[in-house]
Amino acid sequence: MTAQTDSIDLPTLQRKVRNTLILGQIMGGLGMGATLSMGAILAGRLSGSDAWSGMAASVATLGAALAAIPLARLAARYGRRASLTSGAVVASIGALVTIISVILGWFALLLLGLMMIGVATAVNLQSRFAATDLAAAETRGRDLSLVVWATTVGAVSGPNLLVPGEALGEFLGLPELAGPFVFSLVAQVAAAIFYFVALRPDPLVVAGELARAEDAGGEKLLARVEDNPVAARTAIMSVALSHATMVSVMAMTPVHLVNHGASLALVGFTISLHIAGMYALSPVFGMIADRMGRIPTIVLGQAILALSLAFTGFGSENETAVLIGLILLGLGWSSATVAGSTLLSESTVIEQRARRQGFSDLLTSGSGALGGALAGIALALLGYSGLSFVALILVAAVLVRIFLTLRATPANSGALAEHVTYQI
């Protein structure tokens, strides 16, 4: 073993890594919350038409998708510290570009800035995987879910920075709409510095060294991970399609509610509870995944998603039913995402882990963007109920994939056994 790993206290290092990732998520999340709330407004203002407002979220999602593979390759070569720091630096430059675009009034420059800020979402996604690099098998789901949970702080607090951001912009002599992006700039710079300073030793580098030490006959400090491409593909598909299900229905809910006379206050309340469902209870699903297994928790997520779509489909004209449906939509997404991400990490050998996780993030962001785009067409043609029922196809596809995976388990040396059976 190397000098870095010969006397390592693995549980202590894992706690340090997990806490570093949580704090980094909080910092980065504050900036993203403010950005996404103001981006649509700015897109409408600078373009001169509200028809372009949706481009803010679209280019931010595109930025996350485009950054997924490069950041994964950076992690595979140099470790998580280099990858997460670089992503936060790009996002901070994006915030600066956005501020300049508001000053100059250039719509195209605004889109570039928002795309670069979207890289912070790729950092967010990779952070949850970084939490599993050194985690023990019995707590891997919990550790990942705690990092996901940290996103709640930014998601809830970020939009509330709009008014203070406008005041800050006025104080600095900037256009008032540029003010919130000063928060984004500061938050991403702080996150970059924090990752660079605190994420030492690098968890992915240490995990690789421990794996090589095991191969060389050294002491077994880290549980060995067997590569299982079948399980990995199932995990990737489960996370991507669950995300597409969530985005497609969530994105069209405000439009549906407003068109049926709901107040903006109710719309905001509904989306807030949906976001709470996505993140606030993720540690619960992490513990369930550790206790019951990854596959049963993914199935649980699909069951919750199906129940959610039943509420929004059959109760589309009832505001309470839609509210319940959106809460369940967030919970189902959380269950499937936490368990699926954990399954992917522990089904991939350390040498391929970052690249495979990067592909998963690319597919997740891409499926969300595609789902959101197609949801508008489905809403126009089939209505909100029809959209909900069509989304059930995605849930069914995940369940079919899991069924086929379980049938293939005997042919794969029982590699899924620990993820399938209840751990009681």
Kindly list the distances between the CA atom of residue 285 and the CA atoms of 131, 141, 143, 301, 338, in Å, as whole numbers in the listed order: 15, 8, 11, 9, 7
Distance CA 161, CA 300 (A): 35
User: Of 184, 215, 246, which residue sits at a domain end?
Assistant: 215
Same domain flag for 192 and 76: yes
pLDDT digits (tens, 9 = 90+) for 46-77: 888 766 666 777 788 888 889 999 999 999 99
- Select the more confidently predicted residue: 95 or 180: 95
Question: What are the residue ranges of helices labelled H in 48-106?
Answer: 55-78, 80-104
Q: Looking at the structure, tell me whether residues 42 and 129 fall in a common domain.
A: yes
Extract the runs of DSSP E, i.e. beta strands, from 182-312.
Answer: none
Around Cβ 172, how many Cβ atoms within 10 Å?
11
- In this structure, the chain runs to a length of 424
Asked whether residue 220 is domain-assigned, the answer is no
Full residue range of the structural domain in which residue 392 is found = 229-420
Q: Does residue 186 lie in a domain region?
A: yes
Tell me, yes or no, whether 204 and 78 share the same domain. yes
**DSSP class of 161:** G
Q: Residue 223 falls within a domain, yes or no? A: no
In a shared domain, residues 210 and 233? no
* Lowest-pLDDT range of 115-124, 164-173, 233-242, 299-308: 164-173
Quick check: is 28 in a domain?
A: yes
Q: Please check whether residues 356 and 247 belong to one and the same domain.
A: yes
Encode pLDDT of 216-275 as tens digits. 555 555 666 677 889 999 999 999 999 999 988 887 887 778 777 777 677 767 777 887
Please give the radius of gyration of the chain, using alpha carbons only, rounded to the nearest integer.
Answer: 21
* Residue that is last in its domain, among 174, 191, 215: 215
Tokens 């949850």, located at residue: 128
Q: What CATH number does the domain containing 265 carry?
A: 1.20.1250.20
pLDDT at residue 411 is higher than 60: no
Asked which of 158, 187, 215 is the last residue of a domain, the reply is 215
Considering the domain architecture, whether residues 18 and 102 belong to the same structural domain is answered as yes
The verdict on 128 and 35 lying in the same domain is: yes
What number is the average pLDDT over the span 203-225? 69
Contacts of 194 (CB under 8 A, 6+ apart): 20, 23, 24, 27
Residues 33, 163 within the same domain: yes
Closest CA to 210 of 199, 224, 198, 196: 224
Q: Are residues 113 and 66 in the same domain?
A: yes
Instruction: Write out the two tokens for 284.
Output: 């619960």
Number of structural domains (the chain) is 2
pLDDT band at 327 (very low <50, low <70, confident <90, very high): very high
In a domain, 116, yes or no: yes
Q: Find the helix or strand (DSSP H, E) in which 304 lies.
A: helix 294-314
Is the same domain home to 164 and 303?
Answer: no
Read off the pLDDT of residues 347-362 as tens digits, 9 standing for 90 and up. Answer: 888 888 889 999 999 9
Least confident of 69-78, 95-104, 338-347, 415-424: 415-424
Percent of the chain at pLDDT exceeding 90: 39
